[in-house]
Homo-oligomer: A and B are copies of this chain.
Amino acid sequence: MAPDASFFPPSGPFSAEELSAISGADLARRPGRTSRYDNVAALDSAGASEVSFLDNKLYTDQLKMTGAGCCVVRPENLELVPVDAAVLISDNPYLAYAAIASAYHPDWDETYVPQTDDDRIHASATIGDGVEIGTGAVVGPGAEIGAGSRIAPNAYIGRGVRIGENCRIGASASIRFSVIGDSVAIYAGARIGEPGFGFAVSDTGPVSVPQVGRVVIGDSVEIGANTTIDRGAAPDTIIGAGTRIDNLVQIGHNVEIGRMCIIVAQVGIAGSTKIGDGVQIGGQSGISGHLTIDDGARIAACSGVMRDIGPGETVAGAPAIPMRQFFRQTAALSRLAQKKES
């Protein structure tokens, strides 16, 4: 699935030869039919007209089953690409992908900047009945604000953002590249949809990878003050209905959080981690990227989670381990230290 064109209209299309020239990757296999490609997409959702890549070997199985029409991979992975797809090979597929994605999306961090008060609430925005929009607040072109919603002063609603009914957006909060359900509360200073922390490493320093996914927020979600939720890199960042997120929480790009989760203040969730329904995460805990936390898991405050957590499992510590084991280790260490002393 390509990026949402209402936020990220693609340039192109480009042929496999053009993509090779753009990225510096070698065209190692060309498909039988002459093709042109319309856009980039994630491996697990790409279609025949889309380009994808494999960099993190964690996703090798996705490569083998991808529907992408063109893939950028390391030389040793050439044979893993499904036979009907073109293959570009590179020693640094992520860097090559960055160049390709930048060609499709040269203005991927497009920001609506009204410069006169007449443009502050853009004429093309759709404003529902009974909506209040405070002084200084911005509503971009094509944005939609559902009936009964309240946008506090100096908030920023970017181009094309859709906000449901009866939402409350706090003072100076900002929302970009996002689709938000009904009855959602986003408190003051929260940052929804800023670009994720995505870059490829090159000899001349980090190169930004276009962040062309959205933030999708379900009904009745609450998001605390000064919390930051980055938009996806190509898939979306998703927050399920009824989930409550406290203040100063960081949620990285591509994270998926289920329904009715409780995420206490200052938690950090790194990119691409998937969290089930009804998960509870104590304050200041950190969760590494690319993990799966199953339904009903409970993570104690101040934990550092470095592995998958099974359904209903309760963990604590850094690295996080089952809670009972954590308490045993704490007790064992305490006894050990006393013994040394005597």
Contacts and interface: CB of A to CB of B under 8 A. Distances in A.
A133 B156 contact: no
Range of interface residues on A (Cβ < 8 Å): 35 or more
A328 B302 contact: no
Interface string A61-85: 0000000000000000000000000
Q: How many copies does the complex hold?
A: 3
Interface string A296-329: 0000011010000000000000110100010011
A135 interface: yes
Contacts of A191: 187-189, 225-226, 247
A206 B154 contact: no
A230 interface: yes
A265 B269 CA distance: 9
**Most B CB atoms within 10 A — which of A134, A153, A329?**
A153
A333 to B, nearest CB: 5
Specify the main secondary structure of chain A where it touches its partner. loop
A306 B147 CA distance: 44
Given A119-B135, A337-B329, A170 B194 contact: yes
Contacts of A230: 225, 247
Contacts of A286: 266, 283-284, 301-302
Contacts of A334: 321, 325, 329
Contacts of A205: 220, 241-242, 259-260
Nearest to A109: B168
**Most B CB atoms within 10 A — which of A134, A151, A265?**
A265
A22 interface: no
A34 interface: no
Given A205-B260, A206-B260, A206-B262, A301 B304 contact: yes
A197 interface: yes
B152 A135 contact: no
A268 B262 CA distance: 17
Contact of A225 (B114, B194, B222, B259): B194
Contact of A132 (B113, B220, B304): B113
A270 B242 contact: no
A29 to B, nearest CB: 34
A325 B194 CA distance: 37
6 contacts: A172-B174, A189-B189, A199-B244, A264-B270, A284-B284, A325-B337
Given A113-B153, A226-B226, 18 more contacts: A113-B132, A113-B134, A113-B150, A115-B135, A136-B153, A154-B156, A156-B172, A189-B226, A205-B220, A205-B241, A230-B247, A266-B266, A284-B286, A286-B302, A325-B337, A329-B333, A329-B334, A332-B337
Interface of A: 109, 111, 113-117, 119-120, 132-136, 138, 150-154, 156, 168, 170-172, 174, 185, 187-189, 191, 194-195, 197, 199, 205-206, 208, 220, 222, 224-226, 228, 230, 241-242, 244, 246-248, 250, 252, 259-260, 262, 264-266, 268, 270, 283-284, 286, 288, 301-302, 304, 318-319, 321, 325, 328-337, 340-341
